[in-house]
A = this chain, B = another copy of it.
Amino acid sequence: MLDYTTAEGLTIEHMREAHERIKPYINRTPVLRSQYLNDLTGADIYFKCENFQEAGAFKVRGACNAVFGLTDEQARNGVCTHSSGNHALSLSYAAGRRGIPCNVVMPRTAPQAKKDAVKRYGGTITECEPSTTSREASFAEVQARTGGEFVHPYNDPRVIAGQATCSAELLEQVDGPLDAVVAPIGGGGMISGTCLTISNLAPNTKIYAAEPEQADDAYRSFKAGHIIADDAPETIADGLKVPLKENTWHFVSHFVTDIHTASEQEIIDAMKITWKYLRIVMEPSCAPPLATILKNPEVFKGKRVGVIVTGGNVDLDKLPWL
């Protein structure tokens, strides 16, 4: 196993090692297109559908790389984490496949669908208040009690290397080079993995991040040149509330071309038209890329654009346009 101590030390070999390690436990998700959405945006969009991933989100890539990279000694007390949802259930899935315990701290406001899925995969939930401070306090207690190996949802080089496998597949699945790749940004795990792969394998492809206006800490960090972290911003894109950390800031600050933001209504509209015309069930947190592509035609028109659709765990009884 390669050294995973620092984000700066990650190379494309870490991505390749991760891909080999996790292949038995993940899906090679399809890339879908929609003529209607192409006509609407003026771009040629390739949607990498991680909503069809095991556990319903790309997060299972990083979780599996972390869990299956542990020595038996490291895995003895299982794993633990805090997460607004998809990392929690992905780590539960990975731990379940390896046969070790998984303890997760989740905000009590997390979607019921995600809580149900964590339990289905055998994870144990401790609920906290929906703020960074409450989450960190609850997590410290859980970690001390269980002695589990901490797998951070995004600020962990093992996790970033796992997420990097997604755009490696995307590059193989599209016919010819991409002008740009757009991914949502919350804590920055997916965008960091995207940077690791794209900067090495497709250095002429630009990398854009898309963020809710109401949780635009990454946008403001990017413009300021240092991490700005907000406590508990409100947005329908519940997976994008968390702040950047040093390992993801490394990639965002070095490799991202720009960050665009979208309003809550723009996110909801983009979500609905994706459901309608791409015919996939995706989370609100997946919608900022299409919303920002629609909002910034001068950047994307006439371009071949990859979009990472990050997850599909939704409460079908609470759809935001109804």
Contacts and interface: CB of A to CB of B under 8 A. Distances in A.
Interface of A: 30, 32, 35-36, 51-52, 54, 56, 113, 120, 272, 275-276, 278-282, 312, 314, 316-317, 319, 321-322
Give how many copies assemble into the complex: 2
Contact of A316 (B32, B276, B278): B276
Contacts of A276: 113, 281, 314, 316
Contact of A32 (B35, B36, B52, B314): B52
A30 B173 CA distance: 13
B51 A279 contact: yes
A321 B52 CA distance: 22
26 contacts: A30-B30, A32-B52, A35-B54, A36-B120, A51-B279, A52-B278, A52-B279, A56-B279, A272-B316, A275-B281, A275-B316, A276-B281, A276-B314, A279-B280, A279-B281, A279-B282, A279-B312, A280-B280, A280-B281, A281-B281, A316-B319, A316-B321, A317-B321, A317-B322, A319-B322, A322-B322
Given A113-B276, A272-B316, 19 more contacts: A30-B30, A32-B52, A35-B54, A36-B120, A51-B279, A52-B279, A56-B279, A275-B316, A276-B314, A279-B280, A279-B282, A279-B312, A280-B280, A281-B281, A316-B319, A316-B321, A317-B321, A317-B322, A319-B322
Nearest to A282: B279
Nearest to A39: B120
A269 to B, nearest CB: 12
Contacts of A120: 36
Nearest to A33: B27
A272 B315 CA distance: 11
A241 B36 CA distance: 28
A56 B317 CA distance: 24
A272 B316 CA distance: 8
A248 to B, nearest CB: 26
Contacts of A54: 35
A238 to B, nearest CB: 17
